Chain A
């Protein structure tokens, strides 16, 4: 490292047992001068306790409205190497499965056109290229598409659909998350690349209620695998857990949120009618318990981080739908977009829109019948009148 790079505050982050991004940045700084200025600016930010990035703007790829996030330093005279430091989101493969060859291709492209710094992966799911100049955007995109890669979403568009590893690696997967992600990504290319919504729309797919993509908390539309019938039980395998001395009562029975598990001798009994699919027993006793056989997905709507309004969790809109084909899902997505387009405000996420106009109006607007699973809490408004009531009265 050259002497002109003095970063005493950042150096502190290299101490301790955990890997540090500072170490990575310093390694890259020896090859890429722009990373030196990145470190210098970061050091100054730590010292001054403020950020010096300007975000957003007009940069992008011809014809695309998403995939590039413009970023500039507020101090270009002091840090000319990061006067432009744009980010590109590269659409990741479903389930984040790469070959070494594919990763090498991506690294070669980014070494040639950018800082060489990556974020694998961003919270959107994309593989993120961190830092390049405006003139290198089109050449980077050209090289990416020549190798069959594409940019992901950003701005007021469909964000890159993202999923867990699904049935490729996980026995709990209740539907093929990889196939649905691939299908939605291809079907909604226009929505992904050409911002046409009120604000961002994220779809995340998890194969089971463990929800490894955190769809319930981080996606406007979560599609979470679930089963409808009983948990599959292998009593012989359960007996082996008992014989091994495992604390079944403390580790499983007492932790069931609805108290629907009991044990008699070496036999486990589950009251499936009261099971809320929390997955705890299945995760704890994977050899004895498995998800049911009648599998599909639940759809949640409205989760988001706190930006314009506060954070929201997703609410169940559809407690169970078969996932044999994806046409019903396309139909649902398009009905939601149509409604949001009609009723949503500028920079209003779908969850905020539903909160503002009311769940009843929303489900009527998208053609869903109310079901008990939609109820989040007991109602606090006593002035609810039903059309049937008026009909009877008249």
Chain B
């Protein structure tokens, strides 16, 4: 961790970003990383962001999706499956 912001906190904030944009915009790992580094500056490193995304994915809170590019999403049943 680079500063006072914990990986858990970054993960929670990333999760909130993904949840807020669900159905409107598909966020990529780079979008989440840029959002955190612009918010916290030097307090958050890219590696912190990678670790936070890993935490979100490995816990199952988020999953990867692919629609012309990879995105990070809240698990849901997709339309094409129906």
Report which A residues bind B (CB closer than 8 A).
Answer: 54, 56-58, 60, 62-66, 69-70, 72, 84, 134, 154-157, 190, 194-199, 341, 346-347
Contact = CB atoms under 8 A, between A and B. Distances in A.
B80 A72 contact: yes
A338 to B, nearest CB: 9
Given A58-B75, A341-B30, A64 B81 contact: no
Given A54-B80, A196-B30, A197-B30, A60 B69 contact: no
A57 B64 contact: no
A57 B78 contact: yes
B interface secondary structure, majority: mixed
Interface residues of B, number: 25
Contact of A194 (B53, B69, B73, B81): B53
Given A62-B60, A63-B58, A194-B54, A155 B78 contact: no
30 contacts: A56-B67, A57-B80, A58-B65, A58-B66, A58-B75, A58-B78, A60-B64, A64-B64, A65-B70, A66-B64, A70-B80, A72-B80, A84-B81, A134-B81, A155-B66, A155-B70, A190-B50, A194-B54, A195-B70, A196-B29, A196-B50, A197-B30, A198-B28, A198-B30, A198-B69, A199-B69, A341-B46, A346-B30, A346-B69, A347-B68
Contacts of B28: 156, 195, 198, 346
Contacts of A196: 29-30, 50, 53
Interface of B: 28-31, 46, 50, 53-54, 57-58, 60, 63-70, 73, 75-76, 78, 80-81
